[in-house]
Structure 1
């Protein structure tokens, strides 16, 4: 599958590298070439949106609506942004829904709960269990595509409900990131039964 990535920072590098290893063709984009490698192509935001059968939105949340546009209409768009500053949400409405409304893309919220270094693990396994990745989206075909991309990382996709529930994922990220910045082990909050 061809994957366009809007962004050239850590998340673009980590997820793009893993998807390249899994056999996907990846094009990153950004204001600078960032982490682009020979294995991943690099182009403009417009080129990456046109290139991808699926597109990952991996720019800072405040730039998401400047970068993503209606050329994404009908495409699978994976939103991993977190509208957070100083451990607090900066938006009243979920970024995933705002991006869906602005672009007409089939948005799936995913990959926003873990630090970038988790996505560099091959595979991300903790205590013998693959990392679970919650997905929120309304389009079953888009969810199926993203489930496959999650599985390609060695992770387990979890159904988190419709796109309206992306607000809960974004709030969870704000809460967890606030704990991590305090040096607390956020994983200890939700041990297995």
Structure 2
């Protein structure tokens, strides 16, 4: 599969590295040309402009901080029209840890409206360090990765990309459910900023189990 990676940060690095290892062909664009070139060398791929990368891929990953999303989408233009897009982003401000998108709408829906592509929300609930695991196993079980979208072909491709990094794909509905995944991410991000380990963010058991003897 040809994957256009739009963004050169930690999420792009983590996911792209795993997909390159699985045999996919990658091309990357980033705000910092040096970072994009470094990832391209790491993956054995190529770097280019945002529009070039969007045109390259059979599917695109958008991994951009929400503050730069509008500028990125403007550079992409119509190059993603009709194409599958994986959105792993979270528009969460880090003072009150709330969504900054329009009430009732998700970032995934906004990306789909702006690009004319077929967006699937996925990979947004875990820190990049989790996606670096080879594979992401917890208590010897594969990590369940929720995803949602409207287009069946885009969902199928995303399902394959989840499986390629060793995750257990879990379809949770159409794209309107992306709002709920993004709201859940706000909780995860607040816990991470509070000092939780990215690998055990929901593990609330800090001591030995309490005896159940009566």
TM-score, reference length from structure 2 = 0.85
- Kindly indicate whether residue 46 of structure 2 is the aligned counterpart of residue 41 of structure 1: yes
Q: TM-score, normalised by structure 1?
A: 0.93
Which of 127, 135, 147 is residue 115 of structure 1 equivalent to? 127
Q: Aligned ranges for residues 14-163 of structure 1 at < 5 Å?
A: 14-32=14-32, 33-34=34-35, 35-38=38-41, 39-68=44-73, 69-86=77-94, 87-92=97-102, 93-163=105-175
- Alignment check: 8 A CA contact 2:28 2:40 kept: no
Task: State the SS of the aligned residue for 1:186.
Answer: coil
- Please give the per-residue CA displacement for 1:56-81, whole angstroms capped at 9, x wherever unaligned: 00011222232133221110000011
Distance in 2 (CA, whole Å) between partners of 1:164 and 1:62 is 22
C-alpha distance in structure 2 between counterparts of 1:56 and 1:78, whole Å: 5
Task: Give the match for residue 186 of structure 1.
Answer: 201
**Ranges of 4+ aligned residues in structure 1 off by more than 3 Å:** none
How many equivalent residue pairs?
189
* Structure 2: runs of 5+ lacking an equivalent: 205-214
Secondary structure class of the residue paired with 2:17: helix
User: Which is worse superposed, 65-74 or 15-24?
Assistant: 65-74
1:91 Cα deviation after fit: 1.1
- Cα deviation 1:19-57 (Å, max 9, x = unaligned): 000000011101213141421311110111011100000
Contact 1:5/1:56, CA 8 A, preserved across alignment: yes
CA distance in 1, matches of 2:70, 2:86: 14
